[in-house]
Amino acid sequence: MRRVPWLLTLLALAGCATGPSLENRGQVTAPPGDSHHLTIGSAGFTESDLLAQMYAQLLNRAGYKTSVLTVANRELYEPALESGQIDVVPEFAATFADWLNAKVHGGDARPVGSPDLDTTMDALRALAAPRGLTVLPPGRAVDRNAFAVSADYARLHHLRTLSDLGASGLKVRLAAGDECVRRPYCAPGLRREYGIDVTGVDPKGVGTTPAKRAVRQGRDQMVLTTTTDATLDQFGLVLLTDDRQLQNADYVVPVVNRARAGGPGVTKALGRLADVLTTADLADLNEQVDSWRRLPADVARAYLRDKGLLK
């Protein structure tokens, strides 16, 4: 397994910009493929890095050669997944379903993600299949987006929920990924559902150390993170309750390019992880990387060995 150098990442992204997804539409009905070399995509935040490393190591054990390619956001890696520049990506079911739905039907389309897993998976698979993508079975692990502020800020303004923040009338600069500007469950959803005055998005990533540090130091007022973030206390941050349930429960699901990685070998290898990985495991693994400063590849390997999935 190797991590693809940054220069190759840029070359891959340049290819994505030409709209390669259209090239493979005719392959949707082709038999599922089983390429010997597979590129695993990561969205570049801790949890995605960990999942990508676990996928790669399990696929190595199953006899595949793998590379890990880090791509900043879905707007870039999803077309690369369709075109076969990336073969496998760890995703989150409800978020990805709504993202594909907006891509197909427009940004104003009614969301299809749901707290109900079966409903979400049906919608996701219906949207993914025409794009040459196969969504593998979800496991036990679930995560969702969450928003945190500094504990001092929450005490000063008597904030416990996102509704409290909306009612306060405070102006909020949000540390998040750059895609948060248009994602329906990020800045637009905070404005629509909670009336929060989001004045701008500081593109520091999802739950990254720079994003959390910016909130701790008062440069930003709130950070987009996840419910499995185990480092909030270290930064003096607290989650605000999503009391109107803006976020859906997001089960971890592998999404594969059907023509290259839709065969039974990949499904079987990744299914072994789905059977054991829990939400609590994800939080613990995130903490090992973010707090203990361990490498995602090392944390992934130790976890898989502990669960008997690697020798």
pLDDT in tens, 247-298: 887 999 999 999 999 999 999 999 999 999 999 999 999 999 988 999 999 9
Is the model more confident about 194 or about 108?
194
**What average pLDDT does range 124-134 have in this prediction?**
98
pLDDT in tens, 1-29: 544 444 344 344 434 433 334 444 444 55
**3-state DSSP helix/strand/coil % of the chain, to nearest 5:** 50, 20, 30
Domains in the chain, ordered, with CATH?
2-142+250-306 (3.40.190.10), 145-240 (3.40.190.120)
Residue keyed to tokens 């009614």: 110
For residue 29, the model assigns a pLDDT of 53
Crossing angle (nearest 10°) for helices 93-105 and 74-83: 80
**What average pLDDT does range 44-49 have in this prediction?**
92
Which region among 55-64, 72-81, 215-224 has the lowest average model confidence (pLDDT)? 72-81
For residue 19, the model assigns a pLDDT of 37
Closest listed residue to residue 206, CA positions, set 44, 6, 42, 40: 44
What are φ and ψ of residue 173, in 5° steps? -100, 125
Please state the pTM of the whole predicted model: 0.76
Q: What is the DSSP letter of 169?
A: T
Above 90 in pLDDT, residue 48?
A: yes
Closest listed residue to residue 28, CA positions, set 124, 126, 98: 126
